[in-house]
A and B are shown apart, each in its own frame.
Chain A
Amino acid sequence: MLFYWGNLIKISPDIPLQSVLRSSSQQAEEINRVANYFYLAAGFILVVVAASTAYVIYRFRENKTEAPTKSLGRKWETFMIGIPSLLVVVFLYLNIRTINSVEPDWRGHDPDAVITAHQWWWQAYYPGSKVVTANEIHLPAGRKILLRLLAADVIHDWWIPQFGNKMDMIPAQENYLWITIKRPGEYYGICSEFCGAQHAHMRLKIIAQTEEDYKNWLLHDQQSVTNLSMAGGARLFMEKTCGNCHRINGTEAKGIVGPDLTHLASRQTLLAGLLENNIENLENWIKDPQRIKPGAYMPDFHLDDTTVTSIATYLNSLK
């Protein structure tokens, strides 16, 4: 069978349409203004070229003319340099003006969040509050914020279409990006620089909140886990060495290679937007990671079903 839909499709979450033409940040609005001017000019040029081509073919087709008759005058040559040059000057001006207003100098400003891209997930760290989370990034709406963008392995690229500009995340380099999100809401993005096997499944979600909600969320996520009993899943989590790669704040698990799991159950999706976050998907993932996301760095520990279930139950309790 040519097309094969696996079980994955039923559980992979739908994503609402994200169009670059919808401006959800001030930066996107400015960029789209220039883009609209450009589409007008480009549309005009395309129409001129297409219309004059059509006219010439029709007017000078072979069964209408015997032999070549006339030629365009030299003055047209000046004309056809003049018009494009004029357009170039206009757009050069708009170009420089928009660059400087969208991405002013970041030196001397502290970032509100530090995002580190990994193969194939996103880590967010909020300086000053010790909160570390993954893939679903909370940001305040209504004020200008600065992101510091880093990469842990290869080059990735930050892109939330409705926020406008991309920024590469390059290993051993710090890049910065300004965003002024206009309204609270959920926005979706995806890594846009090819980064290896699972580039297609490296989605991220921005949860933009009012200043107050955002502060509350930060307070909540700062807390370490409350259930400290070492029974069941929690004990197995440590025993099976999960903590070497994953961190659960307040426990012995202090790994930083994989995503932070402290408040895993409060996220809506797993694996950078690949699956809905529920216990069944968690179990499937822990049982056979390479079937769900081939190439991912999570090893298959060949755990038996009861172990998988109790670890998944434990993780699912980390609100």
Chain B
Amino acid sequence: MKAIALDHIEHALPDANRDKKILYWLSSVDHKAIGKMYLLAALLFFIVGGSEAILMRTQLAVANNHFLPPDAYNQIFTMHGVTMIFFVMMPALLGLTVYMVPLMIGANEMAFPRLNAFSFWITFFGGLLLYFSFAAGGAPNAGWFNYAPLNQQKYSNSQGINYYAMGLLLGGIGSVTTAINIIVTILKLRVKGMTLKRLPLFVWMALVNSFLIIAALPSLNAALSMLLLDRLVEARFFNTNVGGSALLWQHLFWMFGHPEVYILILPAFGIYSEVFQVFSQKRIYGYVFVAASTVAIGLLSFGVWAHHMFAAGLGNTVNGFFGASSMLIGIPTGIKIFNWIGTMYGGRVRLTTSMLFAIAFLIEFTIGGLSGIEFSIVPIDWQLTDSYFVVAHLHYVLLGGSLFGLFSALFYWFPKITGRLLDEKLGKLFFWLFTLGFNLTFFLQHILGLMGMPRRVYTYQSIPYYTLLNLLSTVGAYLMGISVMVLLYNIYKTMNAKINENKDPWNAFTLEWYAPSPPREKNFVDVPVVTSRRPFWDLKNPDNRDYD
């Protein structure tokens, strides 16, 4: 195999003033700098959103608690959801994608570097604008899905929901432009020989995910614009007192909202696919199945939104249809779980922190996935929707799925991004504390849901077992809080250590590890011609190359 010069695409990388650090970050259009800023912004919002969760769990620790007044609690739970979904998960996953995709496909930049910077900054400012609402007289207080007509001026008369709409609009624009950028990058900038059938699975997921973003976000952006018109100039789209429709908002929101949860999980599926391969030292079991089932999930995701509305009185025919389509999603998702177990089968499994998060994900996500299928059975949904069972379910998929993926990626790619290995001992301590706290917090919430506790209550009356279960759930949340401190300390400690000599500490397979760790501003001086799905493996094992 011969190395070729990278000549088919050369971006003139805009020159920032390197002597001034802040100006460098502000003006950089380097996909790695932007990726890092996405990740740091996500970390910042994660700490804020996590603190909000701690406040909520403190309020709910005992019955009839007066730690937070009702309106403060309602603002905080709203901000927790909005922050975690739009300003933690989205920027973290998109930032990782923007950082890794060019490296994994052997490119030196994104297709549109300036658009990339625009996307980051507009998303970041969207988040800041959302938080400015606290200073402007009150944060949004109608929940992250912000149902009409509670979101109307009459029922929520602080400025909070205006900031919600504007903040999410900016974030939404940023996500769409990033998605366009990612698609063009993947389709146009791949190194010679990397056909679509040889794309690393992380890149496959990023590609499908970007199409989902482009198709799903406009529905949200339209709804948010209509809401702003309602609140600022009385357009009355959602004002039920004068002929507006409450359900219109729900349809528009969930037409975005359900694909959104797949937007949050698909990049994580990509991360797991890479991690399971590398830490089993084996190729993925069923590459085509993983890629094709992702496309299937992507397509199905647009026909399932009304399963959030089974209790809205849409009628048995509509409910039956959406129940069926939602249940079908279980098949391609289930296939993936078996693909990952199959990947470990026969391999050489190394239980690093990254791998531990991936393995724990298999179990946590199965629990969250099964309770998800449970909600596709309409009568059971009627019983459990809007209860704490839903809170448990959604955290099992969003934390057990997406966040575990991000932690797995953090430990896997940290040496790539910084050239330094995170401390494995502290990493494992973090893993066990977090996993224990997570299950303690959220598993019990299934039971609370079955005991009739509705979600989004700022307090509850004295009912047998409520205080006990809620208190344990709060203890779990504190455990997660402590474990995140361990993680932050680990990062701080590692950043002060010196750079590792070995650019490829995990014996990885894909091209990003072929570049130096950390990568130089220009990723590759040369890249190998790709002849299989594991180009870097081929390069390291010329006698034992893949053929596919």
Instruction: Indicate whether B12 reaches chain A with its CB closer than 8 angstroms.
Output: no
B239 CB, min distance to chain A CBs, angstroms: 10
Within 8 A of A (CB), among B357-376: 359, 362-363, 366-367, 370-371, 373-374, 376
In this complex, what residue of B is CB-closest to A59? B345
In this complex, what residue of A is CB-closest to B386? A192
Known A14-B462, A17-B464, A155-B150; judge A46-B366 contact (CB<8 A). Answer: yes
CA distance in complex: A77, B292 (Å): 13
CA distance in complex: A234, B370 (Å): 59
Q: Are A194 and B70 in contact (CB under 8 A)?
A: no
Known A154-B150, A295-B70; judge A273-B461 contact (CB<8 A). Answer: yes
Within 8 A of A (CB), among B288-342: 289, 311-313, 316, 319-320, 323-324, 327-328, 330-331, 334-335, 337-338, 341-342
Q: Are A17 and B463 in contact (CB under 8 A)?
A: yes
A84 CB, min distance to chain B CBs, angstroms: 4
Q: Are A102 and B379 in contact (CB under 8 A)?
A: yes
Q: Are B344 and A153 in contact (CB under 8 A)?
A: no
The stretch from A171-179, A247-255, A299-307 touching chain B is A171-179
Chain A residues near B374 (CB-CB < 8 A): 35, 38, 42
Chain B residues near A100 (CB-CB < 8 A): 316
CA distance in complex: A19, B374 (Å): 18
Q: Are B454 and A192 in contact (CB under 8 A)?
A: yes
Instruction: Indicate whether A98 reaches chain B with its CB closer than 8 angstroms.
Output: yes
Q: Are B363 and A12 in contact (CB under 8 A)?
A: no
Chain B residues near A9 (CB-CB < 8 A): 63-64, 462
Q: Are B344 and A60 in contact (CB under 8 A)?
A: yes
Instruction: Indicate whether B465 reaches chain A with its CB closer than 8 angstroms.
Output: yes
Q: Are A294 and B71 in contact (CB under 8 A)?
A: yes
Instruction: Indicate whether B349 reaches chain A with its CB closer than 8 angstroms.
Output: yes
Instruction: Indicate whether B137 reaches chain A with its CB closer than 8 angstroms.
Output: no
Q: Are B285 and A71 in contact (CB under 8 A)?
A: yes
Instruction: Indicate whether B382 reaches chain A with its CB closer than 8 angstroms.
Output: yes
Known A166-B383, A171-B240, A194-B456; judge A153-B313 contact (CB<8 A). Answer: no
Instruction: Indicate whether B147 reaches chain A with its CB closer than 8 angstroms.
Output: yes
Instruction: Indicate whether B198 reaches chain A with its CB closer than 8 angstroms.
Output: no
Chain A residues near B385 (CB-CB < 8 A): 166, 192
Contact of B346 among A18, A45, A68, A155 (CB under 8 A): A68
CA distance in complex: A81, B341 (Å): 15
Within 8 A of B (CB), among A123-169: 153-155, 157, 159, 161, 164-168
In this complex, what residue of A is CB-closest to B156? A196
Within 8 A of B (CB), among A87-121: 88, 91-92, 94-96, 98-100, 102-103, 119
Q: Are B366 and A94 in contact (CB under 8 A)?
A: no
Q: Pick the most buried of A15, A56, A175, A294: most chain B CB atoms within 10 A of its CB.
A: A56
Give the number of chain A interface residues (Cβ < 8 Å). 95
CA distance in complex: A157, B309 (Å): 12
In this complex, what residue of B is CB-closest to A94? B377
CA distance in complex: A267, B312 (Å): 30
Chain B residues near A76 (CB-CB < 8 A): 338, 342
Q: Are B311 and A170 in contact (CB under 8 A)?
A: no
CA distance in complex: A85, B281 (Å): 31
Q: Are A157 and B311 in contact (CB under 8 A)?
A: yes
A282 CB, min distance to chain B CBs, angstroms: 19
In this complex, what residue of A is CB-closest to B320? A96
CA distance in complex: A30, B379 (Å): 9
Instruction: Indicate whether B348 reaches chain A with its CB closer than 8 angstroms.
Output: yes
Contact of B348 among A31, A67, A165, A167 (CB under 8 A): A67
Contact with B along A1-42 (1 / 0, CB 8 A): 011111011001111111111000000101100110010001
CA distance in complex: A164, B155 (Å): 30
Q: Are A165 and B327 in contact (CB under 8 A)?
A: no
Q: Are B149 and A154 in contact (CB under 8 A)?
A: yes
Q: Are B313 and A168 in contact (CB under 8 A)?
A: yes
B72 CB, min distance to chain A CBs, angstroms: 10
Q: Are B330 and A84 in contact (CB under 8 A)?
A: yes
Instruction: Indicate whether A245 reaches chain B with its CB closer than 8 angstroms.
Output: no
Chain A residues near B335 (CB-CB < 8 A): 77, 80-81, 84
Contact of B58 among A2, A16, A198 (CB under 8 A): A2
Instruction: Indicate whether A57 reaches chain B with its CB closer than 8 angstroms.
Output: yes
Q: Are A68 and B348 in contact (CB under 8 A)?
A: yes
CA distance in complex: A194, B245 (Å): 18
Instruction: Indicate whether B25 reaches chain A with its CB closer than 8 angstroms.
Output: no
Q: Are B454 and A45 in contact (CB under 8 A)?
A: no
Instruction: Indicate whether A200 reaches chain B with its CB closer than 8 angstroms.
Output: yes
Instruction: Indicate whether A229 reaches chain B with its CB closer than 8 angstroms.
Output: no
Known A170-B313, A172-B240, A194-B455; judge A35-B246 contact (CB<8 A). Answer: no
Instruction: Indicate whether B503 reaches chain A with its CB closer than 8 angstroms.
Output: no
In this complex, what residue of B is CB-closest to A197? B70
The stretch from A47-55, A217-225, A311-319 touching chain B is A47-55
B41 CB, min distance to chain A CBs, angstroms: 28
Chain A residues near B359 (CB-CB < 8 A): 53, 57
Known A3-B62, A95-B320; judge A34-B346 contact (CB<8 A). Answer: no
Chain B residues near A35 (CB-CB < 8 A): 374, 377, 379-380, 383
Q: Are B142 and A194 in contact (CB under 8 A)?
A: yes
Contact of A50 among B320, B328, B363 (CB under 8 A): B363
Q: Are B362 and A53 in contact (CB under 8 A)?
A: yes
Instruction: Indicate whether B378 reaches chain A with its CB closer than 8 angstroms.
Output: yes
Chain A residues near B428 (CB-CB < 8 A): none
Contact of A60 among B346, B382, B460 (CB under 8 A): B346
Q: Are B64 and A4 in contact (CB under 8 A)?
A: no
Q: Are B345 and A154 in contact (CB under 8 A)?
A: no
CA distance in complex: A69, B373 (Å): 36
Instruction: Indicate whether B69 reaches chain A with its CB closer than 8 angstroms.
Output: yes
Instruction: Indicate whether B219 reaches chain A with its CB closer than 8 angstroms.
Output: no
CA distance in complex: A76, B338 (Å): 9
In this complex, what residue of B is CB-closest to A13? B461
CA distance in complex: A199, B281 (Å): 53
Instruction: Indicate whether A191 reaches chain B with its CB closer than 8 angstroms.
Output: yes
Q: Are B143 and A173 in contact (CB under 8 A)?
A: no
Instruction: Indicate whether A62 reaches chain B with its CB closer than 8 angstroms.
Output: yes
B78 CB, min distance to chain A CBs, angstroms: 9
Known A68-B348, A99-B319, A165-B383; judge A18-B366 contact (CB<8 A). Answer: no
B344 CB, min distance to chain A CBs, angstroms: 5
Known A52-B341, A81-B331, A175-B313; judge A200-B282 contact (CB<8 A). Answer: no
Within 8 A of B (CB), among A202-233: 203
8 CB-based A-B contacts, threshold 8 Å: A18-B452, A35-B383, A38-B373, A42-B371, A68-B347, A71-B346, A95-B327, A200-B459
Further 20 A-B residue pairs, CB within 8 A, beyond A80-B335, A99-B320, A192-B455: A5-B65, A9-B462, A12-B462, A15-B463, A16-B464, A35-B379, A38-B377, A49-B366, A60-B348, A65-B348, A65-B349, A68-B346, A72-B345, A84-B330, A155-B246, A159-B387, A170-B247, A175-B313, A194-B143, A200-B460
- B→A interface (CB under 8 Å): 58, 61-67, 69-71, 74, 142-143, 147, 149-150, 155-156, 240-241, 243, 245-247, 280-282, 285-286, 289, 311-313, 316, 319-320, 323-324, 327-328, 330-331, 334-335, 337-338, 341-342, 344-351, 359, 362-363, 366-367, 370-371, 373-374, 376-380, 382-387, 450-452, 454-465
Can you list the 10 inter-chain pairs with the closest CB atoms, starting with the nearest?
A165-B382, A161-B452, A200-B457, A175-B313, A171-B240, A70-B346, A192-B454, A192-B386, A194-B456, A80-B338
